[in-house]
């Protein structure tokens, strides 16, 4: 069974409050999503391997550590996942970026695929799939399946807000994928929206409603 990490860092929780607030406008919403994604990436990369190196400080030689060079990738689920990418790349500029286009059919709530482009060496990379919202879990589960079908082996899922149902579905379909979130909310409403949630993440990021 995969693990679920809920990041309770005060900066993440503080910023998430303003992300949720309906009075937060598009510009600030976008900035905050990017900032929280960066803070979450900091926490989610704790297990990156290090290796020893020796450098010269101005004073003396120093045995110290650098990243062991694991290849990384970030895979946003379009559209809303795009809002998290730049924050993560601020911390990990060498990561490659793949894209998976999915939208949730508003009637059936089923994910519909329209695009998939991943790095050619996807099998060698540790990948973080990103989407602000894990609601029914259908979109994230389908995106992870696409990634695996194209050779991905090591995948984490990072979302701002999850529902209990979404966590359960991803854990059931992908027990090898750990889930990183800033909050697990109470439930889904009749339209499949996370409650209390933050509304429609894509519309709030891009001002389309």
Ligand X SMILES: O=P(O)(O)OC[C@H]1O[C@H](OP(=O)(O)OP(=O)(O)O)[C@H](O)[C@@H]1O
Contacting positions for Mg ion (CB under 5 A):
200, 202
Question: Which run of H or E residues covers position 34?
Answer: helix 26-44
Task: Taking the CA atoms of 181, 39, 208 and 141 in sequence, report the sign of the dihedral they define.
Answer: negative
Within 150-179, which residues bind ligand X (CB under 6 A)? 166
Contacts for 52 with CB less than 8 Å, ≥ 6 apart? 63, 64, 65
The nearer residue to ligand X, 71 or 164, going by C-beta atoms, is: 164
Please state the φ and ψ torsions of residue 125, each to the nearest 5 degrees.
-105, 145
Q: Which residue among 12, 88, 133, 158 contacts ligand X (CB under 6 A)?
A: 133
Residue 93 DSSP class: T
Taking CB under 6 A as the rule, does residue 135 contact ligand X? yes
Nearer to ligand X, 69 or 175 (CB): 175
In the complex with ligand URA, the residue whose CB is nearer, 32 or 201, is 201
Say which of 104, 125, 185, 204 is annotated catalytic: 104
End-to-end CA distance of the chain: 38
Binding residues for uracil: 194, 199-201
Name the site residues for ligand URA (rule: CB under 6 A). Answer: 80, 133, 135, 192-194, 197, 200-202
């Amino acid at each position: 069974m995969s693990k679920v990490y809920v990041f309770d860092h005060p900066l993440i929780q503080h910023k998430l409050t303003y992300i949720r607030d309906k009075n937060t406008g598009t510009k600030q919403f976008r900035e905050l999503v990017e900032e929280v994604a960066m803070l979450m990436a900091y926490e989610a990369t704790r297990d990156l391997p290090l290796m020893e190196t020796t450098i010269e400080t101005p004073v003396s030689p120093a045995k110290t550590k650098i990243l062991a060079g694991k290849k990384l990738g970030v895979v946003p689920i379009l559209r809303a996942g795009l809002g998290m990418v730049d924050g993560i790349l601020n911390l990990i500029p060498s990561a490659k970026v793949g894209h998976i286009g999915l939208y949730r059919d508003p009637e059936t709530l089923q994910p519909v695929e329209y695009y998939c482009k991943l790095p050619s060496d996807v099998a060698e990379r540790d990948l973080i799939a990103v989407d602000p919202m894990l609601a029914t879990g259908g979109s994230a589960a389908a995106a992870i399946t696409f990634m695996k079908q194209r050779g991905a082996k090591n995948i984490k899922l990072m979302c701002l807000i999850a529902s209990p149902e979404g966590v359960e579905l991803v854990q059931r379909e992908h027990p090898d994928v750990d889930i990183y979130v800033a909050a697990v909310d109470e439930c889904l409403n009749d339209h499949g929206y996370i409650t209390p949630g933050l509304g429609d993440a894509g519309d709030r990021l891009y001002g389309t409603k």
